[in-house]
Copies of this chain bind each other. A is one copy, B any other.
Amino acid sequence: MNSTILSRSLLLAAAGTILGLAIHAEEGMWTFDNPPLKQLKDKYNFTPTQAWLDHVRLSSVRLNDGGSGSFVSPRGLLLTNHHVARGQLQKNSTAEHDYLKTGFYAATPDQEMKSPDLEVNVLESMENVTDRVQAALKNAKTAEAEFAARKSAIAAIERESQQKTGLRSDVVTLYEGGEYWLYRYKKYTDVRLVFAPEQQIAFFGGDPDNFTYPRYDLDMALFRVYENGKPIDSKDYLKWNPKGAEANDLVFVAGHPGSTERDDTMAQLTQERDLAEPNTLKILKDRIRVLQEFSARGAEQAREAESRIFSLANSRKAYEGRLQGLEDPAVFSKKQKEESDFKAKVMANAQWKTAYGNAWSEIETAGKKSASRYKEEYYHGLDSSLASTAVTIVEYVAEIKKPDGERLPGFHDSQLDSLKFQLASTAPTYKDMEIARMTGALKLDLAEAGPNDPFVKTVLNGQTPEQAATALVNGTKLEQAAERKKLIDGGEAALAASTDPMIVLARKLDPMRRELIKWTEQNVDSVEQKAGEQLGKARFAVYGKSTYPDATFTLRLSYGQVRGYPMNGTEAPPKTTMFGLYDRANSFNFEGPFDLPSRYKEEHGNLDLSTPMNFVTTNDIIGGNSGSPVINRNAEIVGLIFDGNIESLVGDFVYDGDKNRAVAVHTAAMTEALTKLYGAQRLVDELLGK
């Protein structure tokens, strides 16, 4: 989906508030400073030590491609999902070597393959900076002044920390502003692919089986993290338990859930249901249609588009599930009851009423304002990586001249290294696909925003969408890393002199974008942040800190049990086995997404088919948790999160312990396949510490 939507959805998430009443058993994505010790003690008689918590945190990683992972050997071996690695596999593939099709295995260390633009972050430390941020707001008289002061304070904390420690430093807003934390990350950018199976087995069952269970996927990939040309010494890593998880085991998931809206107000949820989700779905469906038409042109086009279609189809199914959840009257009435109870408690206390009582209506008003410009929000999309690059370069050159605290999000000093790493990517660009995508996006913009919309007029400039896209994409040289570097290094003068059509377009669009961002900050963001912070404080006042904050793509710990659930009139089992993989493939006569790579057909006699393949747990996870390790009490790795079941898609808004399940690859299946199908004994030995 385009970045506008993503940032909008993050905005909504960040502006919500805290409703949680009693936490369900096993609900929660807990920060590592506030683990659910009482619940673990009461229900499982387990108390993780600080050493256990630190070890798990330092073994867990975040990937800039949007997923999670963990170290699984002392030599920097990193486990994540195939679908998290897919982008890198795709970028390293060519028409001759399609690693999505064939998989990849570095039989020797020197064959380990550099990733074009993968960055790995390890959360080294966490520091509560709430007082410092809130102190900075003291003298602000208006929401807008607060907004600027907050932004400036946060940028200062980040910059200061980065300069002092050399670590990536992010201030994270938790509890909608009830708390601010400084998270410092150790960053790695030399990440090499070691092993990935064929996409056909990683994503067995394809889009139909996606977000469902029972499943039979080997959705795994192994990277190795290097520094200075050598594997790192990852002393914190999770020991591999080849027996894996058993039914009813207590298990933990350490990972980076992307965003949830569980603390949104009813006004926000209503707008989400009626405006944000339907428009996002409309865009996703259109983007997919465009790419499917592009794919139909030939095998090479299909290869180029595959990874992107996969990711969009994944989003579409997730959004359909979310929307279905929002449209479920039971979900809405549960949320309504929570809000009513919370509000009643606030209003019953004179002091709280004065301090926090207006927050709900302020958020509602801001939401309505935001909705008044929704066409610009949703239908000013270009769906082109080249156009995004041009926009980023134009913004970059302008932003870095400003004081850190006044820059647009993404351009703070502490973020520049990662940004430059992305802009230097050597990943290939497929210009025909860029044209197809941009044409499709412009057609949709034209249909929805209309021909007189200033953005549409500027981009089309009297041409058809296809003409405009073709001229822009064919005319630009931004696919070359050297061109991008020249412009960045050349600064304002180079930019102004550039005749690259994408840069010319980005320059024209820049004032429009800035006006919308500014207007949104003044009318929406600043109000929502202020009111959100009030509700965050109200939540602490009413309920104490007995709960967890909404997800923010930062490290969280969830706990749960390996457990089946009622499904389709019967019981979904706690685990599946390799027998089931062959059942499902044969059931569909090996057609389409139910085909198997040839080694699975030819060598299945070698396998112990009773080996557990996938399993489900009650852990509370969400998108971004992909690639997270599933660990047992001893912090041994017993599985690998790769999905949630269809019943968990409503998890953005509410957790249902009866049916919400995380879906994981079992370590036994990974061990069995690596050993018997891929001959990857060197990796198995490394995993087993031999």
Contacts and interface: CB of A to CB of B under 8 A. Distances in A.
A184 to B, nearest CB: 40
A660 to B, nearest CB: 14
B577 A583 contact: yes
Interface in A538-590: 564, 567-571, 573-577, 579-580, 582-584, 586-589
A587 B214 contact: yes
Given A579-B582, A583-B579, A583-B580, A588 B567 contact: no
Interface in A580-606: 580, 582-584, 586-589, 594
A216 to B, nearest CB: 9
Interface string A97-135: 000000000000000000000000000000000000000
A521 B484 CA distance: 91
Nearest to A588: B573
A400 interface: no
A209 interface: yes
Question: Taking each of A205, A212, A570, A589, which has the highest tally of chain B beta carbons within 10 Å of its own beta carbon?
Answer: A570
Contacts of A677: none
A610 interface: yes
Contacts of A564: 588
B579 A586 contact: yes
Contact of A567 (B247, B568, B589): B568
Contacts of A568: 212, 567-568, 646
A312 interface: no
Q: How many of these chains are in the complex?
A: 2
A353 B209 CA distance: 54
B209 A570 contact: yes
A137 B197 CA distance: 77
Contact of A208 (B205, B210, B571, B587): B571
A210 B571 CA distance: 11
A468 interface: no
Contact of A580 (B247, B580, B646): B580
B610 A582 contact: yes
A577 B587 contact: yes
A609 interface: yes
A535 to B, nearest CB: 34
A185 interface: no
A642 interface: no
A211 interface: yes
A610 B584 CA distance: 10
Contact of A569 (B212, B571, B573, B575): B212
A467 B211 CA distance: 57
B589 A610 contact: no
A576 B570 contact: no
Contacts of A567: 568
A582 B577 contact: yes
Question: Taking each of A564, A575, A583, A609, which has the highest tally of chain B beta carbons within 10 Å of its own beta carbon?
Answer: A583
Contacts of A577: 582-583, 586-587
Contacts of A321: 569
B569 A587 contact: no
Contacts of A575: 587
Contacts of A571: 208, 588
Contacts of A586: 577, 579, 610
Contact of A576 (B573, B574, B587): B587
Contacts of A573: 584, 587-588, 594
Nearest to A567: B568
Given A587-B574, A589-B247, A610-B586, A211 B569 contact: yes
Nearest to A209: B570
A582 to B, nearest CB: 4
A41 B237 CA distance: 67
A246 B210 CA distance: 26
Given A577-B586, A582-B577, A582-B579, A570 B212 contact: yes
A588 B573 CA distance: 6
A581 to B, nearest CB: 8
Contacts of A587: 214, 573-577, 580
Interface string A301-327: 000000000000000010001000000
Interface string A267-292: 00000000000000000000000000
Contacts of A580: 579-580, 583-584, 587
A412 B30 CA distance: 74
A582 B604 CA distance: 15
A588 B247 CA distance: 9
Contact of A570 (B205, B247, B589): B205
Nearest to A580: B583
A583 B594 CA distance: 16
Contacts of A211: 569
A219 to B, nearest CB: 16
A587 B564 CA distance: 10
Contacts of A569: 211-212, 317, 321, 646
A583 B579 CA distance: 5
Contacts of A589: 247
Contacts of A208: 570-571
Interface in A190-229: 205, 208-212, 214
A582 B609 CA distance: 9
A208 B209 CA distance: 22
Contacts of A214: 587
Contacts of A646: 568-569
Contacts of A247: 589
Interface string A614-652: 000000000000000000000000000000001000000
A633 to B, nearest CB: 21
A663 to B, nearest CB: 12
6 contacts: A212-B568, A212-B570, A247-B589, A574-B587, A577-B583, A579-B579
Given A212-B568, A214-B587, A577-B587, 19 more contacts: A208-B570, A208-B571, A212-B569, A212-B570, A247-B589, A317-B569, A321-B569, A573-B587, A574-B587, A574-B588, A576-B583, A577-B583, A579-B579, A580-B580, A580-B583, A580-B587, A582-B609, A583-B583, A586-B610
Q: Which 3 A-B pairs have the closest CB atoms?
A: A580-B583, A573-B587, A569-B646
